[in-house]
A = this chain, B = another copy of it.
């Protein structure tokens, strides 16, 4: 059994990574199609060693396509995902368009794969990058000691914003070196040799949209009773999101017990030596699929508290890898129907 797969938004950071991950994990494909907006038509992207010519989403006939991996932004997804699903393909969407829809499962396979048994609209949502790595780390600890409250501060790389943001970091950094003037375009302020405490736009609550996503998505995926507050900060890193995570538990859990539990949990690599460099940083996580957990230590300021440091490649486990893993679970559980 093999499947016809289309990647929508194939020229973007995540789209290209989806093609890489499909090839690397040898997902059983009969055909892979790269789609994007009309202005990208004719560009080449790679599926393994094979160059694919990009076709226009607008004119593509999805009849016969089994799986569509979408990474084309919220507005495109709102318009196209239902149309594509109506043609019989299953859509795994990386935008925020469907995540909070009650009839759309929001899935991180290590955490809530069972939600895949009820795909009402033919659409499955991939959570936000910073949420995925967080819930992978929280899930086994929640099972062990019941999480009450989480305080997260993020150190998010520019690749999460897109290719233009990576170019902006590169160009601005060079401008600092040659003392050229710097004009921010993608971000509201300079990102080179700076940090920006804004992800997305402001909500009335004073939180930003990126912060709200982490709070709401964690509750939907993991447990609606978990209280979470966070500050999302963009840092001058190309790939890899980091998170400083403070957790308050209902029940006692020691740092060494947490370390042992995390070591035995799916999708996690614990790197935690209490010596110089005994932790993972984003440049080391880039290109990898694991969620890395470091700096696991007791927080003595609450009865049952832990602090930890969580890093992952936001384009892979934070997006592309998670989407392909969802497709793999559906396939393995025989929930993936062949299109007519």
B194, A281: Cβ atoms under 8 Å?
yes
Determine whether A228 belongs to the interface, using a CB cutoff of 8 Å to chain B: yes
In the complex this chain forms, how many copies of it are found? 2
Cα distance, A236 to B229, chains bound together (Å)? 25
Closest to A177 in B: B174
**Size of interface on A: residues with Cβ below 8 Å to B:** 58
Cα distance, A301 to B228, chains bound together (Å)? 6
B188, B197, B236, B244: the one within 8 Å of A197 (CB)? B244
CB-defined contacts of A233 to chain B, threshold 8 Å: 155, 242, 244
Given the interface pairs A231-B307, A301-B227, the reply to whether A196 lies near B236 with Cβ below 8 Å is no
Closest chain-B Cβ to A185's Cβ sits at a distance in Å of: 12
Given the interface pairs A229-B246, A305-B229, the reply to whether A195 lies near B282 with Cβ below 8 Å is yes
Determine whether A181 belongs to the interface, using a CB cutoff of 8 Å to chain B: no
B174, B205, B235: the one within 8 Å of A297 (CB)? B205
List A residues at the B interface (Cβ < 8 Å): 149, 151, 153, 155, 169, 173-174, 177, 188-190, 193-198, 201-202, 204-207, 227-229, 231, 233, 235-238, 242, 244, 246, 255, 274-279, 281-284, 294-302, 305, 307, 309
